[in-house]
Structure 1
Amino acid sequence: MEKYLIIINWRTFVVLAISAVTTHLTLVNNFQYNFGLTMISIAIIFPLVFSIKSAFRRREKALEHLARFRSALITVNACLQSQPKISEEEKEAVQSDILAVSKSLRAYLGPDPIPLEKVRADAIKVSTYIQQRSSHMKYNASMKIQGFMGDVLSGIENTAAIKEHRTPASIRAYCLIFIYLYPIIYIPSVYYSLQEGGSESNPWILYSLGMISTFILISLFNVQIQLENPFDQVGVDDVKLELFDLNE
């Protein structure tokens, strides 16, 4: 249950407070106007949905790159372990280095990240070993292993790009500002509609409509924020990094 309540934060209480205060002032001053809410819906819902879709797309790309990284790393290890001209001591050493690459990437992506340079250094160590031992392998095998190692390096850089570069911050700021303004614009218009419908005698209808609608919007915004970093192990939809760690 706690994982689902994580979308409630200080922004939720701020926007609910704005909604409650606006509703109170609207009722006290009998302030109302007839205003179509289509423009407000477009101004908030469209960029909010766009941001959520972009964040989900980044998460799906992260899963794709991590899966390719893991499979390539497994293949590199299997190919090196099958080389007859490499000693058992060297095979154990390079396997340890390969596991270190997987462990470093998980640590970099996780909630307490290590520097990206450490991940790159571990990967380059394995890549350098492959290049140095290429003369002990058949040409086709050597090229195949180097090709898979290229997929490993590509997976590291792609997931790092997803972690470091988020969806546009300007759109998130725009959405948040309009969510804060939404109850100020929405509630007097709803009050007008309620009076036209004969429900003006029950102020709790206005309180409920205002707070529920603003809660939905700010919750969607918080979901988008949770998806911004799919690796930090905070949200319910974060990438399960342990599934891509060879050490597991």
Structure 2
Amino acid sequence: MSWERFTRIGLVINGKSLMIVALAMVSTWASLQLGLVADYPLTIISTAVIFPIVFSIGHAYKRREAALDDYGTIKAHGRALYFAARDWLPDEDGGAKQERLHHIEAVLSNLLTACRDMFKGRIEDMPRTERDVYAAFSQLSDFVKRMRGEGLASGECSRCNQYVSKMIVAFESVKHIYQYRTPRTLRAFSDVFIILLPLIYGPFFAYCAVEYNAPVLTYVMPVLFAVILTGLDNIQSHLEDPFDQIGPDDVAINAEKFVELLGCGENGSDCDGARVMQAKLEDYVAAKAVA
């Protein structure tokens, strides 16, 4: 088993799991010592904990998939804008075209970087980071206006504006996924019972131990019970925020790779020179900053 798998297991079974395991074992031991034995129904567990957590996991997973779809929409329409700047204007390869391509690359890089900074940051910082995203969208709109002045047909200019509009719609959708999480009251309800049930079910674990009539199996049920409950809760926690880069299933916004691959020419002929284009873009951004 690779180290990466061990780290993933550590995300599911953590300090909280060990604490609940300890509570369940202490409760079982105390019940055995006091002779408290009872056959509790397991339906309480499924109703109070399992169902709310599984519901939250399903909802969080749908949010993650929606965020992936919207992220793909932003990238796809951004690439379409780049191709429009490269192929739709009636000019020859030259300094003006290269400057235009460097400009759209810089704007798209700023946009994705601003999105990444916003979604990885704290919600308290959102009023500041959100401005950077809208500033990048404003630059995209100005870029379409610039192409119109350079001879882009009105129909194609309208199409480019639609690309920008769809990117903004996708961003707003992802922003609301980032802002509003799964129902917090449902999560609080589950958290309370994850702590209480291992204590309350001590007599049931003691009953199971008596039924097994095998001392070595006395604490198997409480440990298994606690690990399952906390494991499901931890899975839900990691899916809750798809951008925090803690869990292995988070959405990673790779602005650098996206811009680097924009340098691929028609039919992929210039993909080997993508890193050269990235270096040129960095020089262009630095020059604009100085200016």
Q: Normalised by the size of structure 2, how large is the TM-score? A: 0.77
Name which structure has the greater RCO, CA cutoff 8 Å, separation 6+.
1
- Distance 1:24-1:233 versus aligned 2 partners, 3 A rule: same
C-alpha contact (below 8 Å) 1:27/1:203 kept by paired residues: no
Say whether residues 1:223 and 2:235 are aligned partners.
Answer: yes
How many angstroms does 1:158 deviate by? 1.5
Q: Which residue of 1 aligns with 2:169?
A: 154
Q: Among all aligned residue pairs of Structure 1 and Structure 2, give the percentage whose two residues are the same amino acid.
A: 26
C-alpha contact (below 8 Å) 2:209/2:219 kept by paired residues: no
Q: Which runs of 5+ in 1 are unaligned?
A: none
How many angstroms does 1:106 deviate by? 2.5
SS at match of 2:259: coil
How many angstroms does 1:178 deviate by? 0.6
SS at match of 2:69: helix
Say whether residues 1:213 and 2:225 are aligned partners.
Answer: yes
Q: Distance in 1 between matches of 2:105 and 2:204?
A: 67
How many angstroms does 1:223 deviate by? 0.8
How many angstroms does 1:139 deviate by? 1.6
Q: Which moved more, 1:153-162 or 1:101-110?
A: 101-110
Q: Give runs of aligned pairs for residues 28-177 of structure 1, distance below 5 A.
A: 28-82=33-87, 83-84=89-90, 87-88=96-97, 89-110=99-120, 115-135=129-149, 136-177=151-192
Amino acid at match of 1:53: G
Q: Which runs of 5+ in 2 are unaligned?
A: 1-5, 261-291
SS at match of 1:115: helix
C-alpha contact (below 8 Å) 1:11/1:218 kept by paired residues: yes
Say whether residues 1:26 and 2:28 are aligned partners.
Answer: no
How many angstroms does 1:206 deviate by? 3.0
Q: Deviations over 1:200-241 (max 9, x none)?
A: 4x3442311101111111011011001111111111111232
Amino acid at match of 1:94: I
- Distance 1:32-1:58 versus aligned 2 partners, 3 A rule: same
Q: Distance in 2 between matches of 1:191 and 1:117?
A: 59
How many angstroms does 1:69 deviate by? 0.8
Q: Which moved more, 1:78-87 or 1:149-158?
A: 78-87
Q: Which moved more, 1:226-235 or 1:107-116?
A: 107-116
- RMSD of the TM alignment (CA)? 2.3
Aligned residues: 245
C-alpha contact (below 8 Å) 2:141/2:161 kept by paired residues: yes
Amino acid at match of 2:194: I
